[in-house]
Amino acid sequence: MRGEVISLVLTEDSPLGKTTKIIPYSQDAINKHKIISLTNDPHGINERFKLFKTQILAKTQISGDRTVLVTSCTNREGKTFTAINLAIMFAREVDQRVLLVDANLNHPSVLQAFGVSAKEGLTDYLLHNKLLNDLLICPGIEKLTLLPAGKFVEQSNEMFGSLKMQDLIAEMKGRYNDRYIFIDGPSLLTSVDTLVLSKYIDKVLLVVESGKVSPQQLSEAINLAGEDKILGTVLNKRKPA
Q: Indicate the number of domains in the chain.
A: 1
User: Residue 120: what are its φ and ψ, rounded to 5°?
Assistant: -125, 160
Q: 116 vs 171, which has greater pLDDT?
A: 116
In the prediction, which pLDDT does 163 show? 92
Q: Is residue 120 part of a domain?
A: yes
- Residue 162 and residue 126: Cα distance in Å, rounded? 9
- Residue 125 and residue 165: Cα distance in Å, rounded? 9
Element (H, E) at 223: helix 215-225
Q: 20 vs 56, which has greater pLDDT?
A: 56
Q: Is residue 150 part of a domain?
A: yes
Mean pLDDT on 215-219: 94
Residue 63: CATH number of its domain: 3.40.50.300
Q: Mean pLDDT across the chain, nearest whole number?
A: 86
Q: Is residue 230 part of a domain?
A: yes
pTM: 0.89
- Residue 119 and residue 108: Cα distance in Å, rounded? 12
Question: What range does the domain containing 136 cover?
Answer: 7-37+44-236
pLDDT tops 80 at residue 44:
no
Q: Is residue 241 part of a domain?
A: no
Q: Is residue 1 part of a domain?
A: no
Q: Is residue 2 part of a domain?
A: no
Q: Is residue 15 part of a domain?
A: yes
Q: Is residue 204 part of a domain?
A: yes
User: Residue 78: what are its φ and ψ, rounded to 5°?
Assistant: 100, 20
pLDDT tops 90 at residue 95:
no
